[in-house]
Structures are given as C-alpha cells and as structure tokens.
Chain A
Amino acid sequence: MTDTPRVTRPLIADTPAPLARIGDRAISRAAFLADAQALAARLPQAGAAFNLCQDRYHFAVAFAAILLRGQINLLPPNRGSTTLAEIASQYPDAPALVDGPDAEIAVPVLRVSARGEAGEATGPMPEIPADQTAILAFSSGSTGTPTVHARSWDALHAVTRQALECFELVDGSGPTLVGTVPPQHMYGLESTLLYALLGNAALLAGRPFYPGDVRAALTECAPAILVTTPFHLNACLRAGLEWPTPERILCATAPLDPETAGQAERVFGCRLDEIYGCTEAGAIATRRTTRESDWTAYPGVQLHRNDDGLACAQGPQHPEAVPLPDHIEVRDSRHFRMEGRLTDQLNIAGKRASLADLNRRLNAIPGVLDGVFIPPDTDKVAHGVNRLAALVVAPNRGEAEIQAALAECMDPLFLPRPLVRVEHLPRSATGKLPRQVLLDLLAYHAQCA
C-alpha cells in the first residue's frame, strides 16, 4: 500500500486585503493568524467545539482555531439552553467558545477576546486537510427532528471559490464585507467569513443592525459590500436616509421582489445580486434581480431532476446530488426558476424553521396537552414582520411559563404572538386541524381579549 499524501487546502488565502476591520483598525492576515494560533493552543482536546461568538472577528478567530486543531465547528440553530443541551449530549467533550454573556450554557466555556493585537504570525499559511469536517450546521428538520449538515473544508472552499468568481472578489478592490447577518448561519458564514478568509475582502467585526448603523458602517468601510437580507434591506429603505454607495449589495435568506430590488439599486446606487441557497446544499446560484427572474447556478454547479421529480443540485462541494427543499422548475442544467418554498418551512425575518419541529417542541412541554403553531398569512402584506400564533391546551400552565419553555428551544422570532390558551383544539374527525378553523378560533379569541 502506498501512502498518498492527504490533500490539503489553505486556511487563509494570501490576498492583499486585510482580513478584518475592527472599528477603524485593519487587521492583517498575519495578525489574524496569530490570534487563531494562540486560541488553538488554548483549546482542550475534543472532537468538536461550539462556536457561539457573536462578534464576527471573534467568530472568525474561533472558526480558524477549531480548524487548526482538527476539530469541528458546531453551529446550533439558536442559543436556547435546551437546544444546546441536545447537541452537547452528542458531543460531550465539546467546549463552547463564547464572547458574550452566555451564562446558562451547561458546557465548559472558553472566552474569546482576540482583537488582532497578538503580533503577526510568521511562516507559511497553514493548510487544513481537504476532507476534514469543518462545520456541523444544525437545523430544525422537516420531519420534526433536528437535522445536521456537515461540510468538509474542501466543500467550503469550493462554494467560496464559485461565489468569489461571481462577485468579483478574487482580485478587485479588496472591499469590506458589511454584514447584517450573523456568522453562525450558512449564508452569513459563507458570505462574510469565508469570502474574507479565502478571497480578497475584509470582514467587518461588528454587526450593524439599525439602519443608522448600516449607514455608518458603509460610510466608514468604503469600498464596501453590503451583505444583507430582504428583511434588513426593507428596513433600510423604509428609514428614508441618504445612503453612501457600496460596491454591491448581496441579499439572501428569502426571495426579494423585483420592485424592492429596483428601489435598492436606485437608492444605494449599485447593483444588487441575490444568492439562492438552502441548508441542505449551501449557496448554489445567483441572479441580478432587476434583470432576471431565473437563477443561474454558480460555475461548476449543475441542476437536474431526479427520478422522483425533485430538482437536485450537484457541484464539486456536493459528494452526491442534493435534492432542493423548494418548488423548482429546472430550465436547463445551469438555470432554474424558484416557485416557492415547500410549505413546512417557515421564514420569519430571514430565519427558517420547520413547522413540524416547532409543533413537536410545543407539545413536548410538560403540562401542554395539545398545541399547534399557526403560520401567518403570507399574502397579508403588513409592514414589518408577521409572527406565528399558537393555540395551546394547557389547563395547569400559564402563558408566561409556556413562552419561557419555548424560548429555551427556539429562536425568539418564532415565539408565538399571540399564544392563546384554549380548552381543546378544533380537530376534525381525522385529527386534522384545518387552517381556516384555527384562524377563526384565533379571531374569536382576539375579539374576546
């Protein structure tokens, strides 16, 4: 048997752009690497580690340190204590890398406070084995049980190379990525952290949230690329501010309508590109929404319909073809139209969850005899965000107790508003809960309130 050398990929691309910006300081690639190596030396022996850092620079340092130690970044779907405990039970030796007030985690905590001030690493850029599992992204699966999505370092490299080519980030001006999205989710990870690690771009450590923050960040970080969501983009457009011109806007997590895209291109004075992705396949396609409604696959990604009629994507980042969780019309191997999400998947302000999973978690609360989440009307165009409602049968539990239990296992965006306690659910003879009957019951209780 001959020893074939293990294929590796660099941890960081050797590009001219700094790796990050913290406030008005640029952090070089060598300074970032020094931070990552110092943290890697502090990590305990383990197979994996939770990366819960909220500051994007801390997250990046933790991400790189975990890879340098041959470990896996665990990325939970939310920070609820029940959620973390579930994942921790499968990775009992995994510590949690944190930078905020995460007091209630029942796993050993390691605090990350690196600020690019540990000097500059010398020597060659480290290489990471291509087949090393870099991340495990957890999502609430449509079957009602959490599912895990693994990505090798090679797969992350592949999707990032494709995107860098599409968005002119291989050479270019070395812009700063101003992200309103958190780095823990696939879109934020790919388009803020990985573009900076592997392309000619810098990540902004902070996460601008209010329109005033976004405007200040774009002004201070020029040239900048705004990495955002339809939800945040709408908020920026509604704020009625004067905007500096970024190089480009990237938008994902939910389809953007062409009118909003057109308004954004006019108000910001730059092009807007949408990215299509899903937890199952990662980012696979893009479109300039003002010019085309069909999506174009990333270079190297192909689409086809499988024997079950499902649209599937396959690129170098996919060991096998991945069925896409949406209604998709395949035009040809590189183009498709998305007709809508499959119904079980909820999207509230860009965060996704499975309705089946939320219902399972509601019904798992002690004292809840029966309960159901009711998705908002998607065609009811109100300003802001439509929330879920819930009807719950729990004679011995108060609303606040139920809300508190839900908050431990789901993102706050999915907490029901209102949560109405009822004597029983209006189940049909077959046990089903017709949507209209649920809406009527909600309306009835709203009148009585």
Chain B
Amino acid sequence: MPSQTAFEQEVARLIVDSLNLEDVAPEEIEPEDALFREGLGLDSIDALELALAISRAYGVQIRSDDENNREIFASLRALSAHIEANRATS
C-alpha cells in the first residue's frame, strides 16, 4: 500500500476539512485512488469547494479549461503534485 508523503498528508487534511467529510480520516485516503465518484465519491460541488480551499491555502487557481483538469483531480497524489508545481513561492 503506497503511503502518503508529508505534503499529501497536508492536502488530505485540507480535503477532509474543506468538504466536511466527517466519516473519512485524512490518513485513510489512498494516494492513488480516485477522488471523484468512485473512491471518495466526490462531485462537482466538492471540486469547487476544494478549489476555493486550495486557492486560499496555496494561491493556486484551478481552471476547468486547463486540459489537465481531469488529471489534476484524479487522485490525492495528482492533486498534491499539481499544487506543489503551481503554488506561489513565498
């Protein structure tokens, strides 16, 4: 079972907090599992909520016309990698 990196742990916490996923523990999110529909069963409203949280926490604007949008939200691992690659360097 692949384990979460330190940054993935941080993003997992952000997902659980911003979406009020009361019955999910951040450390239980499998890094490579699907976040949407299968897996955690998230939908478009969650994507919007999550995008707001990511924007506030990391200054990264999610755009749906980004060709990689589907891949960005594919898994905790993909999302964390996208944030790390695009976050505002402080």
- Residues of A whose CB lies within 8 Å of any CB of B are 206, 208-213, 216, 231-232, 235, 238-240, 349, 382, 384-385, 403, 407, 412-413, 415, 417-418, 446, 449
Query: Sorted from nearest, which 7 A-B pairs have the closest CB atoms?
Result: A212-B61, A412-B43, A209-B64, A384-B49, A212-B63, A210-B51, A449-B23
A239 to B63, CA, bound (A): 13
CB pair B44 A412 closer than 8 Å: yes
CB pair B65 A206 closer than 8 Å: yes
A398 to chain B, nearest CB (A): 13
CB pair B49 A210 closer than 8 Å: no
CB pair B20 A210 closer than 8 Å: no
CB pair B64 A208 closer than 8 Å: yes
Contacts of B18 in A (CB 8 A): 384
CB pair A239 B52 closer than 8 Å: yes
B85 within 8 A of A: no
A319 to chain B, nearest CB (A): 36
Annotate B57-90 by CB proximity to A: 1 below 8 A, 0 otherwise: 0000111110000000000000000000000000
Contacts of A449 in B (CB 8 A): 22-23
Contacts of B23 in A (CB 8 A): 418, 446, 449
Report 28 cross-chain contacts, Cβ distance below 8 Å, ordered by A residue. Answer: A208-B64, A209-B48, A209-B64, A210-B47, A210-B48, A210-B62, A210-B64, A211-B51, A212-B51, A212-B55, A212-B62, A213-B64, A231-B45, A232-B48, A238-B52, A239-B52, A384-B18, A385-B45, A403-B41, A407-B37, A412-B37, A412-B43, A413-B43, A413-B45, A415-B41, A415-B43, A418-B23, A446-B22
CB pair A384 B55 closer than 8 Å: no
Contacts of B51 in A (CB 8 A): 210-212
A231 to B48, CA, bound (A): 10
Max chain B Cβ within 10 angstroms of own Cβ: one of A206, A382, A413, A417: A417
- Known A-B contacts A212-B61, A212-B63; A239 and B55 likewise in contact (beta carbons under 8 Å): yes
A446 to B21, CA, bound (A): 11
B34 within 8 A of A: no
Contacts of B65 in A (CB 8 A): 206, 213, 216
A349 to B47, CA, bound (A): 13
Task: Given contact pairs A415-B41, A446-B23, enumerate 14 new A-B contacts (beta carbons under 8 Å).
Answer: A210-B62, A210-B63, A211-B55, A212-B55, A213-B64, A231-B45, A235-B48, A238-B52, A239-B55, A382-B20, A384-B18, A384-B19, A412-B44, A415-B43
Contacts of A238 in B (CB 8 A): 52
A240 to B61, CA, bound (A): 11
A134 to chain B, nearest CB (A): 28
A95 to B30, CA, bound (A): 41
A211 to B48, CA, bound (A): 8
A21 to B18, CA, bound (A): 35
B27 to chain A, nearest CB (A): 16
B86 to chain A, nearest CB (A): 12
Contacts of B64 in A (CB 8 A): 208-210, 213
B34 to chain A, nearest CB (A): 13
A129 to B84, CA, bound (A): 57
Contacts of B55 in A (CB 8 A): 211-212, 239-240
B18 to chain A, nearest CB (A): 8
Contacts of B22 in A (CB 8 A): 418, 446, 449
A231 to B20, CA, bound (A): 17
CB pair A209 B44 closer than 8 Å: yes
A211 to B19, CA, bound (A): 17
A417 to B43, CA, bound (A): 12
Contacts of A211 in B (CB 8 A): 51-52, 55, 61
- A417 to B, closest residue via Cβ: B41
A254 to chain B, nearest CB (A): 14
Contacts of B45 in A (CB 8 A): 231, 349, 384-385, 413
A235 to B47, CA, bound (A): 11
A209 to B49, CA, bound (A): 11
A228 to chain B, nearest CB (A): 12
A213 to B69, CA, bound (A): 12
Contacts of B20 in A (CB 8 A): 382, 384
Give residues 10-59 of B contacting A (CB, 8 Å): 18-20, 22-23, 37, 41, 43-45, 47-49, 51-52, 55-56
- A399 to B, closest residue via Cβ: B41
CB pair A213 B63 closer than 8 Å: yes
Contacts of B52 in A (CB 8 A): 211, 235, 238-239
A404 to B26, CA, bound (A): 24
A107 to chain B, nearest CB (A): 23
B89 to chain A, nearest CB (A): 19
Contacts of A235 in B (CB 8 A): 48-49, 52
- Known A-B contacts A209-B64, A213-B64; A385 and B44 likewise in contact (beta carbons under 8 Å): no
A418 to B48, CA, bound (A): 20
Contacts of A403 in B (CB 8 A): 41
A105 to chain B, nearest CB (A): 18
A213 to B22, CA, bound (A): 30
Contacts of A385 in B (CB 8 A): 45, 49
